[in-house]
Structure 1
């Protein structure tokens, strides 16, 4: 009997499953009738080592190769031959539009797309790159699609970690007392630490290329550049000394530049990495030593006279000076060094003594001293910093520099130690650090005080209106017209209080946003039309919008509020007359703003420019503070820009500002650019909106007795039955006792013990058909993760809001 599957390559788990399955009653029918196009596609796919799947026919029946099997996870036992939509139902919202476009004849290529495949049945974050290509039948019509895919999670997370590491390294470099730098193979400086700018007074960017050489002493420039060029050409390590002019004092100080090359695979130099360190004090000491040597060579041959002259010279410095020969014998030592040595070890070194032998009764100190001096006597030059001194008295901190000692012919004859007392400098640095910390704390407390005062002021104003209105409403003979007016005042004031709370949470980046993907072009144009009513007839609004689509994922209401806040500020800055320009571009990088690292993007960029008076430079650093305003009393709360920056930061972007007095101000809002959204209509939402409301049994989970009692009363007035429990654990018990009793769960988010989000997730796993509605006035969990996936009602809520959301979730189709 002929093999119906002879077109399949031999071997493989998937090939065996295809052969073993009875295809008679499937949409594809017996394999003898499968078209050649399907047979060829299956043969090529099964033989390929790259993960891929094939969807064929009207139902898009699924086939896949062995490399694709791990991607299916728990779906593997039922995936073969099943409709593509059923296999990947959990992510159909993301891939459905790709499938439709592919079947329409468009190949799709996506890179590093985040998908929640839930391969083991639990949510997971993973990234994928894949291509969708149409597959045609024997007549040339599109009969299916082929997907080639690869997981890129490790690379995406690795690149994110690398960016974090690079940012960490940049911050670390700026704290280095040395000056790190890099240059290309031709010797052009490509990067440097900002400490070079502090030392030399050069402007940012000026040291690049050969601009660094402008800071050198004119006498040192020719031979420094010659030596630098010679080492770059030979590939030998750079080691050159020169003087630079210190901007703070106007004096020249000696510096030492060292660098080593990094080579590519072919051995060629791709970049040089180096540091510049201050060696001025060491240079001065060496110069004095050379003067001593020259004097001794010219005038004194007698060893005793030489020692006396050295000692006389050394006594003129406060530093601890010590010189040893290759045998660890003291060639010269000044009184300060001998006194300190005697105070620590109980023995006074003299010229001719073996310094190491003097420490024979202290083995640990002897070994350490031998090791350090051995390094110095071998020709190594280095610096040590540590505390030394008599343990019975306050110890001092010294910086010890070791350099090579040579004779007049340049031969190494010993080593030179020059130790400076840096105790006061270290203490000053510590005091400065403590002062800076105290200043930061004071600034923080000032901001907290300002924030608290502003909140108290505004809320007391609102509470005054509410309290006065309620007092009048209690009067029995109050006319109906006045009663309606006071009720309207209370409702309006509650809305204003909720808006104030929302602005504060926006500034703190703690509000629970409702992000969605939308095209900024339409939103900017629509908001610009609305702004005419805000800015007035004397403000001319100019809108410049990019031609191509520009999508972001953000809270649309908060975005519009941010634009309105910026427009209102612009109107006030122009005193109600001038041109307001809204400009939208897309695909740009995020620059470094207020010292924060930039990002390559892409970002959507919305700028709002005015022709107003501008902002004084000394105020630019405070404009985003809550309740800070330059407007007259009663003309601004000081929360508008706080809302703008809070919204931008929480949405993954930032806000920049540029201003010039008398020439206007431009605020630039950066938001991450995303792919366009799915075009599928939510039929379930439409069904819910048109459905007739029915009476429900709602489980209320609320730990606050006042709020819980009010909520159950509200639901009862809407005609629903309620059961009220005060924590999530009790809610789980109530549901497990009678699982079919409740039509919905209405739960607070912030509660002692298990929170509302965790309760909702457990119910989703154990009772997937039971709708869960969350409510909160503030939740750090929801502020950090807007993708919680549950309905959310913000406090304060109204009866109409509760009625609408209950109607929506109970009429929604369950999948």
Structure 2
């Protein structure tokens, strides 16, 4: 016979409740009368750390260990000794059949079984993993059920919620607008109605958190027991308050309103998420809904960014179209005045019957070259704009590649001869000289590459070669210039990119030439690349194009020559402005002001020289900063006039270096530049320039400004010279006063004279000897020193 104290000896609350319970009030009767099978089962389960219970007898009276008590919740301690059907009346429709299967001798096992239980005063969604095992009594009959169970509710909820968060995080914004992202998010939540029975998203009508009104975007709802509440019943004031403050609020434990962010600023809307009636709104539940709002916010951030990118893309397309229209209109508008410039200029320059004086012809030739350069610039910009907008239309026709290439390159012979650069043509490597080619595109490619090579080659040679094989024609243009630095080689074909601090004949250019070449080559289905020479200097541009042999030769070579001449005129006009300096240096006359002029464009340089020499100023010309600075240090000028955009170092570098040189620190510097705007002016003046003149300028204005700075410099030097003379006189006076004071002091000590008597004595000696008082004073001091030296104190 076993007593209650022996069967339930523990001190925990569960053992105590079982020990104090009146078992005689149940069908089991007093503990002392319990069968051995039941006692054995109790002694097995009570020490176990796994939650276990026993249902015994026809009434399935309930006993359980302390590990099971937390699973009973608020049903403990009343659950002790209760009939199982009474204790678990909520959920017995699922548990009862399993228990009866065990009573019939069938073991039952369930994993993560969903049960709706009432353990804490409300209908609760739970998940348990358990096994039901029959307990055999006498005669191998089943008298009870042993239940081993584990509450896996939190684990199942965590996995279920993590799956929802993962799906929310994988929402793609591609081809979705902002509303679509909201609907997709709510569609995912609709599949998890156990955690989010209803939901809605409300967004501002604009992304501007200050201006946009809140509007409902999408919602989802599900009907669950005990929860008739829906998203539409959430007070609008709560939605507005959360969207303004960014702080979530809980509405009557039925819903939570959480802010949605699409950036680091104020919320762009709110998520109204229903709270399940089958779960307590505890901290894990709140964290889950916060993460849901966070994932939706992330998707909205991507959606807003995607929408912004699409808006920017549309704006860029519109801007690109507007830019193309602008360039086309400007090009057409420019071509009319250019035609009216080039035509009359050509007529006057080439008029042999009524020749003009040579200096007038030179001026008109300069104007003609400038007009040709402007024409090429306009055409290049128009080609770039057309290529960006619609692409290039390739028009293939039979072309003599050798003749066209030779014509294009040969147009630079005069420019290279003047510059002392050799131009070599290696066109013998072509086996089939006739090919289907767009002549205009090929001419632009050849002339742009050759022009670029000549521009940056100050000594050596430029070589143009052409060769082919079965299906490819290869053009290479090699120069012995400074080369392209490694860091710039990958960007050399980018639009508007120019290599900085590379010496050449000029820094002028729009930065679109090589990018246009790249686009033209791409339109012809070819490739272009650049490489350096073996020693890192020089550049080789290589163009490879697929070649289709022409079925017939060109109808006439005249067309080829006309294309080269028509398109090459602008290139040659530009090349003519790279003429080298003549190297002639003359000495200024004593009455001439000395001007150092730094300008790389030969036409502009000639124009400025003529303008300045008309003022009887002596002008020394340079095309780069280093040469100009070397001359200025050796022969400091009265004024320096320098362009800013120069090959190698810029005019700003000249200003900075001059202001650090004691010989040039006060020399006025006037900068010239085609760059307008306050930033350029401020940069030049900040470094110490005295004036800044923007091209185009009025000749009289430039001369007047230079003259003002010359006069200011002259006045400044006069004032400084006067000040230096005054300082010298003062120093002499102080020196004289010092010697007289010493002599007066000696007479006062040696002759015991008063100061007035001593000074009168020196004045009398000065008059008698007819010498200055300072000389008498020096003599007295010298004699005293000599006497003191010959009679030292013993």
Task: Give the TM-score normalised by structure 2.
Answer: 0.29
Query: Which structure dedicates a bigger proportion of its chain to strand?
Result: 1
Task: Give the TM-score normalised by structure 1.
Answer: 0.28
Larger radius of gyration: 2
Query: Which structure dedicates a bigger proportion of its chain to helix?
Result: 2
